[in-house]
Structure 1
Amino acid sequence: MILISKHIIPKGFQGITLYPFVVLRTPSLKTNQVLVNHERIHLKQQLELLILPFYIWYAVEFLIRFVHCKNWHMAYRNISFEREAYINEQDLNYLKSRSCLAFRKYI
């Protein structure tokens, strides 16, 4: 389910996935198929890891990458979940062929 809220979205981002919702900054972003696909990839990741472990893994991996590279944006972009989503966001059929726990190959 897609919700619209500019208040939930961190500055500099257009959307965020908080299972079971995809939250977008503006209504016009609903038509951005690449962005929506990116967020749907995160929905699948969250469901596979039973939601709470996803958020724990995400936070721990971010912290490890941030300590390593000392750059917030680089740490975020190199989280395995984000790497999978960014690399495959333009393939609108990706979720149909995606294997279970596919994010592991992006660690």
Structure 2
Amino acid sequence: MTGWLVTARFLKPNINAMALFPFILIREDAMRNDKVLLNHERIHLRQQAELLVLPFYILYLLNYLLSLARYRRHYPAYRNISFEREAYDKEADLHYLGRRRWYNWLAYL
């Protein structure tokens, strides 16, 4: 699953990309060449697909709210969402999706 790349200049300056199944939104055209960034977002596309999209967004939000209650700040809460933990941990491994097991994000809860 590669995702359709769409340049979305409306993304905030602190957001480089975002996976919204089946699209990967990128802030600038130059980001089309950032293999690590795109791999991170493709991991999210796989997570979204295996949860049939809508449940992913519900679980993502619940996970964020629980993390926010724990850490009291946006950035640590965001980085501790299980989906983000998997994506950040494996983003540099460009072959990860070829061997990733289904629901592997559960290992990051």
Percent of residue pairs identical:
42
Q: Provide the residue aligned with 1:98 in structure 2.
A: 100
Find 1:88's aligned residue among 87, 90, 93.
Answer: 90
What RMSD in Å do the two structures reach over aligned CA positions? 0.7
Q: Secondary structure at the match of 2:60?
A: helix
CA distance in 2, matches of 1:92, 1:68: 32
CA distance in 2, matches of 1:3, 1:11: 16
Normalising by structure 1, we get a TM-score of: 0.97
Once residues 39 and 58 of structure 1 are traced to their aligned partners in structure 2, the CA distance between those partners, rounded to angstroms, is 14
TM-score (norm 2): 0.95
CA distance in 1, matches of 2:61, 2:13: 18
SS of alignment partner, residue 17 of structure 1: strand
Partner of residue 9, structure 2: 6
CA distance in structure 1 between the aligned counterparts of 2:9 and 2:35, rounded to whole angstroms: 19
